[in-house]
Amino acid sequence: MDFQLSEEHLMVQKMVRDFVQKEVKPVIQEWDRKQEMAPFILPRMAELGILGINIPVRYGGQGFDYITLGLVCEELEAGDSPLRVVMSVHMGLNSMALLQWGTEEQKQKFLTPQATGEKYACFGLTEPGAGSDVAGMKATARREGDEYVLNGEKMWISLASKAHHALIVARTNPDADPHDGLSAFIVELDRKGITTGDIHGKLGMRAGSTGYIAMQDVRVPVENRLGEEGEGFKIAMSCLDNGRYTVAAGATGLIRASLDASVKYSHERKAFNKEIGQFQLVQQKIAYMVQQYETSRLLYLKAGWLKNQGVRNTRETSLAKWYATDASFDAASEAIQVHGAYGYSDEYDVERYLRNSKGGVIYEGTSEIHQLMQAGYALGYRKDADLRCELPAYDAEYWQAEG
Amino acid sequence: MKIAVFVKQVPDSAAKLSVDNGAVNWGDAPLVINPWDEYAVEAALQLAEKHNGEVAAISMGGEDAKEALKHALAMGAGSAMLISDAALANADAAAAAKVFAAAVQKLGGVDLAIFGKQAIDSDTGLAPAMTARVLGWPALTMLAAIPALDAGAKTIKVERAIEEGRQVVEGKLPAVLSIVKDYAEPRYPSFMGIRKASKAEIPVWSLADLGISAPESKVRWTEISAPPAREVTSEMVTGANADEIAAKLADLIIAEGVL
């Protein structure tokens, strides 16, 4: 067993941390108040190569491993959660699905421009009436010759209004078992019949883009179907294995940010003639944050290691996501408590941490869904079905070759 | 054009200093590339890009100093070398300058030797001028801009950041430069650069490799003590509006004799 990050990991971590510190932290409060995504975020992340961090160089990426993706997500969310959300949807839920399930033509056509950052990508699974109940979705894709005609609405879609490509899951066979009647498509969002927009008035993630994709008779060529017809449910679930990984790593960053802010304030703030860090009840909060950070980090790094090995990790990723997001909500809440009244104001970052943390507890499987999954595995009720295409194990030589 | 850029590995600027048993203690502060040297590397890279040059990063120190060199490689430097020798353990700026000059000579064909304006650990800022003196090259220090450089004609025109403003100076190559913050924001290491740097085998040069004997340090540290803690009081200036607060603040500044 080796707990040592590589020199590459540490250098990437520092580079992304510097980017967040220098370019994002100074302005993030302003964009959070405006409830808008800062326009420089996506182009800058693209320019720096972050949008293709763990995609093989031959497909326009940077050729790093899955652990690097986790470390990047931790650094991004230590700055602001919507930064990490970019990686969840663009990378975890979309680009990695193309890497796992895409044909060579699809990788060239969609994955490469996404990895270079020329195109942004999102993921359309959730609907106004279907969240945890994926199989209950209403969107349809009707085959007509060499095309599919898509209709329906996707809701709570991060980057809906910014992305060029969306991975859309829709029902292709209304008569089949719901788990066999879904198919996945890569849809260019400038196709006729598509409308997108942002949702405002969210509790958190205010400096991010969350929206909807409405589809009315959208014609998509058969070549855009990802995987086989009827494989949509399995593809969607495999996407979540990767998206949840980024959420877990990001939530770990949010815990770290809450801890760092609390430690700093505990040294600065004095009450009863001593710094508040001297009080045991404050120390208890700090201790729990340390525990939550270290535990979350171990869980997500283990999931990342399993991905590197090419070992199925649905169970471990679910556990990491459940634990880290719940813990991030706790840590952010306690960070506010440490800050007292100042923590209640947006003069300090911790109130934003709390508002942002709640999203992670809900999306990509609510904490309740993950509890059911973990109990199901433990009780033997739940087994992972084999997939026709597994996420490829990390092979440094292949990943880094020019192709 | 061949450029040598000198970098130093130093304790992070957030380090808390103390003096323990007559020696400076940096605590467990992480070591980082000297922040001023990042500007020097940026200047070197920009000049190399513009004049089709090559950049070699050089550091003097122990194994830790390889991290600073790897940072420079990850930013885009083409090569890196570490000068390490037990005889240099307590080298002062004058001794270091002799070593730096020898390294420049060993590299050969160097047109520019570039430094950050100072290192944040020792803070002397002496290395650029002293190295220039040893090499017998012009020292163009505290540069905020290099508006003209003709590699063929071996001429350079620079803007120095001085207290009174900007001073424009012309000189000849080869030269030693030191760079200040105004020059350009240092780039981040690129991901491809990180991969290259993490795999790089950095050659280590001893004094014997440089063909010099251990230079004598002139500075003796007879006693080291921490400066006395300053008594600081703070006062919040309040008022009904910004104008009123500004007026009160101005009165206070005048009363305290700050202006």
pLDDT per residue as tens digits for the range B99-139: 999 999 999 999 999 999 999 888 889 999 999 999 999 99
Q: What is the pLDDT of residue B16?
A: 83
Nearest to A53 among B70, B188, B191 (CB): B191
A249 and A394 belong to one structural domain: yes
> B104 vs A71, B39, B172, CA distance in Å?
39, 20, 17
Number of compact structural domains in chain A: 3
Band of residue B229 on the pLDDT scale cut at 50, 70, 90: confident
Locate the chain A residue with the closest alpha carbon to B75.
A15
CB spacing of B194 vs A400 below 8 angstroms: no
B190 in contact with chain A, both atoms CB, cutoff 8 A: yes
Q: Give yes or no for A394 touching B (CB within 8 A).
A: no
CATH code where residue A62 lies:
1.10.540.10
- B17 vs A64, more confident: A64
Per-residue pLDDT band at B15 (split at 50, 70, 90): confident
Question: How large is the average pLDDT for residues B225-245?
Answer: 88
Residues of A in contact with B194 (CB under 8 A): 8, 11-12, 15
**B191 vs A6, A18, A62: nearest CB:** A62
pLDDT at A352 over 80: yes
**Poorest-pLDDT segment among A48-57, A128-137, A160-169, B153-162:** A128-137
Instruction: Write out chain B residues lying below 8 Å of A12, CB-based.
Output: 191, 194
Query: Any CB–CB contact under 8 A between B221 and chain A?
Result: no
d(CA A139, CA A129): 11
Q: Which residue of A has its CA nearest to B195?
A: A8
Q: Out of A213, A231, A249, pick the residue that ends a domain.
A: A231
CB B45 within 8 A of CB B72: no
For the segment A133-144, the average pLDDT, to the nearest whole number, is 92
Q: End of a domain among A62, A91, A120? A: A120
- Neighbour-count burial for B6-42, b at 16+ CB within 10 Å, e otherwise: bbbbbbeeebeeeeeeeeeeeeeeebbbbebbbbbbb
A224 falls within a domain: yes
CA atoms of A301 and A299, how far apart (whole Å):
6
Confidence (pTM): 0.91
**A20 to chain B: closest CA residue:** B188
What backbone phi and psi angles, to 5 degrees, belong to A176? -80, 165
Quick: pLDDT tens for A232-245: 999 999 999 999 99
C-beta pairs of A285-288 under 8 Å, 24+ apart in sequence? A285/A334, A285/A335, A285/A337, A285/A338, A286/A259, A286/A262, A286/A338, A288/A330, A288/A331, A288/A334
Structure tokens at A90: 């663009």
Kindly indicate the confidence band of residue A83, based on its pLDDT and cuts at 50, 70 and 90.
very high
Tell me the residue range of the domain where A224 lies: 123-231
Do residues A285 and A394 share a domain? yes
What pLDDT score was predicted for residue B17? 83
Element (H, E) at A267: helix A232-268
Identify the pLDDT of residue B234. Answer: 83
Residues in chain B: 259
d(CA B5, CA B110): 10
B30 pLDDT more than 90: no
For residue range B163-216, list pLDDT tens digits in order: 999 999 999 999 999 999 999 999 999 999 999 999 999 999 999 999 999 999
Residues of chain B contacting A7 with CB distance shorter than 8 Å: 70, 198
- pLDDT of B121 reads 86
State residue B22's pLDDT score. Answer: 84
Query: Which of A4, A6, A7, A19 is the best residue to mutate to test the B interface, defined by the most B CB atoms within 10 Å of its own CB?
Result: A7
Alpha helices in A20-95 (DSSP H): 25-34, 41-48, 66-79, 81-86
Give, for A397, the enclosing helix (H) or strand (E): helix A396-400
- CA-nearest of B187, B153, B184 to B171 is B153
Instruction: Tell me the Cα Rg of chain B.
Output: 21
The tokens describing A283, both together, are 């120390």
A contacts of B191 (beta carbons < 8 Å): 12, 15, 48-49, 53, 62, 64
Provide the pLDDT confidence category of residue A133 given band limits of 50, 70 and 90. confident
Please tell me the distance from the alpha carbon of residue B198 to that of residue B193, in angstroms, as a whole number: 8
Residue A403 lies in a domain: no
- Shared domain for A248 and A375, answered yes or no, is yes
Q: What CA–CA distance (Å, rounded) separates B29 from B26?
A: 6
Cα torsion through A344, A346, A349, A353, rounded to 10? 70
Cα(A280)–Cα(B219) distance, integer angstroms: 48
Does B167 reach chain A within 8 Å, measured CB to CB? no
Q: Which CATH number fits domain B2-210: 3.90.1150.10, 3.30.365.10, 1.10.569.10, 3.40.50.620?
A: 3.40.50.620
> Helical H runs in B65-220?
65-75, 93-107, 127-135, 191-199, 207-210
pLDDT at B258: 79
Tell me which residue in A8, A18, A48 faces B195 most closely, judged by beta carbons.
Answer: A8
User: Number of helices and strands (H, E) in chain B?
Assistant: 7, 13
Segment A102-107 mean pLDDT: 98
Q: Are residues A150 and A297 in the same domain?
A: no
8 A C-beta contact, residue A149 and residue A142:
yes
The percent of residues above 70 in pLDDT, for chain B, comes to: 100
Q: Which of B70, B71, B194 sits opposite A12 (nearest CB)?
A: B194
Contacting residues of A for B189, CB less than 8 Å apart: 11, 15
- pLDDT at position A325: 98
Say if residue B21's pLDDT is above 90: no
Mark whether A136 and A172 lie in a shared domain.
yes
Residue A220 has pLDDT above 90, yes or no: yes
What is the per-residue pLDDT for B205? 97
Q: Which of B71, B188, B195 sits opposite A48 (nearest CB)?
A: B188
- For A70, residues 6+ apart whose C-beta sits below 8 A from its C-beta are A245, A246, A248, A249, A300, A301, A303, A304
Helix and strand numbers (H, E) in chain A are: 14, 10
- pLDDT value at position A54? 98
Which one of B188, B195, B198 has the shortest CB-CB distance to A18? B188
Say if residue A176 is in the same domain as residue A272. no
User: What's chain A's average pLDDT?
Assistant: 96
Q: Is A203 helix (H, G, I), strand (E, B) or coil?
A: coil
Provide the pairing of β-strand B54-60 with B79-83.
Answer: parallel
pLDDT at B27: 85
Contact A102, A175 (CB under 8 A): no
Q: Is the CB of A15 less than 8 angstroms away from the CB of B188?
A: yes
A50 compared with B232, residue with greater pLDDT: A50
pLDDT for A373 = 97
CATH number at residue A186: 2.40.110.10
CA distances from B126 to A358, B142, B165 (A): 53, 12, 21
The answer to whether position A151 is within a domain reads yes
Q: Is residue A318 part of a domain?
A: yes
Residue A206 and residue A193 in one domain: yes
pLDDT at B81 (0 to 100): 97
Residue of A nearest to B185 (CA): A22
Q: Where are the alpha helices (DSSP H) in B121-241?
A: 127-135, 191-199, 207-210
Average pLDDT over residues A296-321: 98
The pLDDT of residue B122? 82
Give the domain-ending residue among A104, A120, A136.
A120
Check whether residue A176 and residue A61 sit in a common domain: no
**What is the nearest CA distance from B69 to chain A, expressed in angstroms?**
12
Q: Are residues A205 and A353 in the same domain?
A: no
Chain B residue numbers touching A56 (CB-CB < 8 A): none
For residue A274, the tally of other CB atoms under 10 A from its CB is 9
Confidence check: pLDDT of A392 > 80:
yes
Q: What residues of A are in contact with residue B197 (Cβ under 8 Å)?
A: 11
| Helix ranges (DSSP H) in A269-363 | 280-309, 314-339, 350-362
Amino acid in position B219: V
Partners of residue A19 in chain B, C-beta under 8 Å? 188
Cβ pair B189:A15 closer than 8 A: yes
Q: Does B192 touch chain A (CB under 8 A)?
A: yes
Distances (CA, A) of B91 to B99, B216, B220: 10, 8, 10
The closest of B31, B40, B30 to B7, measured between CA atoms, is: B40
Whether chain A has a CB inside 8 Å of the CB on B13: the answer is no
Tokens 């909060």 sit on residue: A285
Residue that the structure tokens 């250098």 belong to: A11
Q: Which of A61-70, A278-287, B238-247 has the lowest mean pLDDT?
A: B238-247
Under the banding of pLDDT at 50, 70 and 90, the label for residue A86 is: very high
A135 confidence band (pLDDT: 50, 70, 90) = confident
Q: Is the pLDDT of residue B259 over 80?
A: no
User: What is the structure's pLDDT at B130?
Assistant: 97
Tell which of B69, B181, B191, B232 to mutate to test the A interface (max A CBs under 10 Å). B191
Domain ranges of chain B: 2-210
CB of B191 less than 8 A from some CB of A = yes
What is the number of alpha carbons within 13 Å of residue B99 lying toward its C-beta? 31
Q: Rounded CA gap, A212 and A196, in Å?
A: 5
pLDDT band at A171 (very low <50, low <70, confident <90, very high): very high
Contact B70 A63 (CB under 8 A): no
**Taking CB atoms and an 8 Å limit, are A15 and B198 in contact across chains?**
no
Residue of B nearest to A18 (CA): B188
User: CA angle B5-A48-A317, nearest 5°?
Assistant: 125
For A55, phi and psi rounded to 5 degrees?
Answer: -95, 140
Long-range own/partner contacts, residues A349-352 (CB < 8 A, 24 or more apart): A349/A29, A349/A257, A349/A261, A350/A258, A350/A261, A350/A262, A352/A28, A352/A29, A352/A32, A352/A80, A352/A204
Question: Which residues of A carry out catalysis?
Answer: 364
- Considering only alpha carbons, which residue of chain A is nearest residue B196? A8
Q: Does A104 touch chain B (CB under 8 A)?
A: no
Strands A165-171 and A270-271 turn out to be unpaired
